[in-house]
Amino acid sequence: MAKKRLIFFHFKRDLRLFDNSGLYQALRRAYELTQQGFPTEVLPVFVFDRKILDRLPSREDRRVSFIFYHVLALQKGLQKWGSDLLILHGSATEELIQCRSRYQSEYGKIDFYGNFDDDPYPRMRDQKIKDEFTKEGGQFCLFKDHHLFSRSEILNRSQSPYTVFTSYKKSWLEKISDPFYLQSYPTEKYKDFLKKGFLSQKSFSLEEIGFQRMDFPSQRESSSLLSVLSDYAHDRDFPSRQGTSLLGVHLRFGTISVRQLVSTALEISESFVSELIWRDFFAQILYHYPRVVKESFKVKYENISWRYNEEEIQRWKEGSTGYPLVDAGMRELVQTGYMHNRVRMVVGSFFCKHLLHHWHVGERWFANHLLDYDLASNNGNWQWVAGSGCDAAPYFRIFNPMAQQEKFDADFIYIKKWVPEFETSRYPPPMVNHEQARQRALNEYRKGLER
Ligand SMILES: Cc1cc2nc3c(=O)[nH]c(=O)nc-3n(C[C@H](O)[C@H](O)[C@H](O)COP(=O)(O)OP(=O)(O)OC[C@H]3O[C@@H](n4cnc5c(N)ncnc54)[C@H](O)[C@@H]3O)c2cc1C
């Protein structure tokens, strides 16, 4: 009789069982092989990857709590399906390779399935795993799950990546009209091919992996999401309204399906879909131009004489710039891990233009604090506010933080929530004069770009 076969399924940024494309493909492959006379099972695995965790600057990280909570939920879901989740902690590459060795004597062949993640570290990690698994004759397959379109799925007429959003969006919308791309992956259909009767050998607490438990907001009810989508175009720019979906973190870690979200949104809100297209747009920019992680997309922007002043950066980080909309946003970020999009644009512009600091420094601060932190979107948006990005705001467009407040928080509701001492003697005067700072930015940007 043929020896049994095993397929590892590695959960990463796709912490859900439903409509999970890679998981579906793994289960379906197990079904097909079994039909062909090679009994096959799928072993679900999650690794708390020390290579990522060790680099986090604080042991109080909301994202780790979020992931931990959702990994346990995933495990419960798998247990309901008669299986389990193997949870490991260590270097993902080493843990997965060791784990394969443990199962090797029991199984004839071990394959590796997952969904791809195009950030630089996961690409490197998955390449190493691929080398190891294929060396032993295993199959290695990764699938798209995180975006509607990624990598080179949408190219311009000369087969190059789009670097202008409006043209990318047009092609994206044309392509999505084919219902194929929104089809759901019915994982439950093949759930009997999940491995049964194994014990997830360790159960971890958050403290055991070195982190403190932190709060994070719970997901909106789906009825409330529908009402947000209906009013999205009117409300999305006002930080005191419940006008946006707050789904960033769920998209980031795959606790919702982007295909299902787009299917719903296409019926209700064109402007919401447009934001999800920005997400795909920046992901394909990072994939094709990984240099953006370290340098400006428009390299000339590196010639600007960026300033570096610790004290100013500190005031920006703690929200004591004397510009209330900026300060409210920066405090919201540190206290909750979230900041409203309109305010992200204002604080980003203030940092790069009024203070004339390199976008890289602001980007890092966001990376350390945002619950929905995503390398491609954060980098793309920071370069957008700095003017250095592929399809960025022109450098001479400088947000006036006071005018933004008058337009989007006219009654100071958002500001008073986060800056209770506003309008008292304890609140500092503006750290820079708007008109002078604006002029300095224009001069320095112009000089740098002419170099
Ligand atoms: C300086 C700066 C940094 C940012 N950093 C991040 C980041 O690290 N991660 C991140 O997901 N978004 C980032 N954004 C984009 C945007 O601010 C957030 O996606 C949004 O505020 C999240 O809240 P929400 O889920 O309620 O968004 P909604 O308005 O409800 O939008 C729905 C989803 O669309 C996507 N989206 C919306 N706006 C954008 C955008 N401009 N670019 C890319 N995707 C978008 C997000 O996935 C978002 O969850 C950044 C924006 C700026 C200006």
Pick from 341, 373, 385 the residue to mutate for probing ligand 1's pocket: most ligand atoms within 8 Å of its CB. 341
Instruction: Calculate how far, in angstroms, residue 361's C-alpha sits from the geometric centre of ligand 1.
Output: 19
Nearest CA to ligand 1 atom 2: 381
Per-residue DSSP letter, 354:
I
37-74 burial, b if ≥16 CB within 10 A, otherwise e?
eebbbbbbbbbbbbbbbeeeeeeebbbbbbbbbbbeeb
Q: Which parts of 141-268 fold into alpha helices (H)? A: 165-176, 222-235, 248-253, 258-268
Q: Is 194 helix (H, G, I), strand (E, B) or coil?
A: strand
Ligand 1 cavity residues, CB under 6 Å: 236, 244-248, 251, 275-276, 278-279, 282, 341, 344-345, 348, 366, 370, 372-374, 377-378, 381-382, 385
What's the token pair of residue 416? 């008073």
Give the sign of the dihedral formed by CA 261, CA 266, CA 269, CA 275. Answer: positive
Once rounded to an integer, what is the mean pLDDT over residues 317-341?
A: 98
Placement of tokens 């060396």 in the chain: 135
Instruction: Calculate how far, in angstroms, residue 376's C-alpha sits from the geometric centre of ligand 1.
Output: 11
Pick from 66, 231, 251, 372 the residue to mutate for probing ligand 1's pocket: most ligand atoms within 8 Å of its CB. 372
Q: Is 40 helix (H, G, I), strand (E, B) or coil?
A: strand
Determine which of 1-5, 79-83, 153-157 has the lowest per-residue pLDDT on average: 1-5
Q: Alpha-carbon Rg of the chain, whole angstroms?
A: 24
Query: How many residues can be counted in the chain?
Result: 451
CA separation for the pair 134, 40 (Å, rounded): 18
Q: Is 389 helix (H, G, I), strand (E, B) or coil?
A: coil
Placement of tokens 């644009």 in the chain: 345
Q: For residues 180, 183, 187 and 188, what is the CA-based torsion angle, rounded to 10 degrees?
A: -130
Segment 97-121, tens digit of pLDDT = 999 999 999 999 999 999 999 999 9
Instruction: Calculate how far, in angstroms, residue 271's C-alpha sits from the geometric centre of ligand 1.
Output: 13
CB 103 within 8 A of CB 6: yes
Nearest CA to ligand 1 atom 6: 378
Phi, psi of 133 (to 5 degrees): -70, -40
Q: Which of 403, 412, 396 is nearest to 446 (CA)?
A: 396
381 CB-contact burial (10 Å; exposed 0-12 / middle 13-18 / buried 19+):
buried
Q: Is 45 helix (H, G, I), strand (E, B) or coil?
A: strand
Bridge partner residues of 322 (DSSP): none
Name the pLDDT band for 218 (thresholds 50, 70, 90).
Answer: confident
Segment 163-191, tens digit of pLDDT = 999 999 999 999 999 999 999 999 999 99
Segment 288-320, tens digit of pLDDT = 999 999 999 999 999 999 999 999 999 999 999
Task: Say what the pLDDT of residue 4 is.
Answer: 95
Name the pLDDT band for 265 (thresholds 50, 70, 90).
Answer: very high
Instruction: Calculate how far, in angstroms, residue 339's C-alpha sits from the geometric centre of ligand 1.
Output: 9
Domains of the chain in start order, with CATH, are 1-144 (3.40.50.620), 147-182+222-288 (1.25.40.80), 295-450 (1.10.579.10)
The answer on pLDDT for 202 being more than 70 is no
Instruction: Calculate how far, in angstroms, residue 265's C-alpha sits from the geometric centre of ligand 1.
Output: 16
Phi, psi of 156 (to 5 degrees): -80, -175
3-state SS of the chain: helix, strand, coil percent to 5? 55, 10, 40
Phi, psi of 40 (to 5 degrees): -135, 145
**Ligand 1 atom at minimum distance from 380 CA:** 42
CA separation for the pair 25, 301 (Å, rounded): 44
- The C-alpha angle 386, 388, 391, rounded to 5 degrees, equals 105
Q: For residues 87, 55, 52 and 199, what is the CA-based torsion angle, rounded to 10 degrees?
A: -10
Q: Which of 361, 381, 365 is nearest to 330 (CA)?
A: 365
How large a percentage of the chain has pLDDT more than 70? 98
Nearest CA to ligand 1 atom 39: 275
**Ligand 1 atom at minimum distance from 375 CA:** 8
Phi, psi of 345 (to 5 degrees): -65, -40
Name the pLDDT band for 197 (thresholds 50, 70, 90).
Answer: confident
Determine which of 45-59, 146-160, 196-210, 259-273 has the lowest per-residue pLDDT on average: 196-210
Instruction: Calculate how far, in angstroms, residue 283's C-alpha sits from the geometric centre of ligand 1.
Output: 12
Segment 398-412, tens digit of pLDDT = 999 999 999 999 999
Nearest CA to ligand 1 atom 46: 248
The answer on pLDDT for 424 being more than 80 is yes
Give me the chain's average pLDDT, please.
96
pTM, full prediction: 0.97
Q: Is 100 helix (H, G, I), strand (E, B) or coil?
A: helix
Task: Say what the pLDDT of residue 201 is.
Answer: 58
CA separation for the pair 323, 329 (Å, rounded): 10
CB 64 within 8 A of CB 206: yes
Pick from 279, 280, 332, 340 the residue to mutate for probing ligand 1's pocket: most ligand atoms within 8 Å of its CB. 279
Between 219 and 338, residue with greater pLDDT: 338
**Ligand 1 atom at minimum distance from 373 CA:** 8
Alpha carbon 431 to chain centroid, angstroms? 32
**Ligand 1 atom at minimum distance from 281 CA:** 43
Residue 305's contacts (CB-CB under 8 Å, 6 or more residues apart) are: 444, 447, 448
The answer on pLDDT for 200 being more than 80 is no
CB 252 within 8 A of CB 13: yes
Segment 63-99, tens digit of pLDDT = 999 999 999 999 999 999 999 999 999 999 999 999 9
Task: Say what the pLDDT of residue 3 is.
Answer: 83
CB 103 within 8 A of CB 43: yes
CA separation for the pair 43, 113 (Å, rounded): 10
Pick from 268, 336, 374, 381 the residue to mutate for probing ligand 1's pocket: most ligand atoms within 8 Å of its CB. 381
Alpha carbon 46 to chain centroid, angstroms? 18
The answer on pLDDT for 221 being more than 90 is no
Task: Say what the pLDDT of residue 204 is.
Answer: 77
Residue 222's contacts (CB-CB under 8 Å, 6 or more residues apart) are: none
Residue 247's contacts (CB-CB under 8 Å, 6 or more residues apart) are: 219, 220, 225, 256, 261
Between 266 and 3, residue with greater pLDDT: 266
Q: For residues 232, 234, 239 and 242, what is the CA-based torsion angle, rounded to 10 degrees?
A: -50
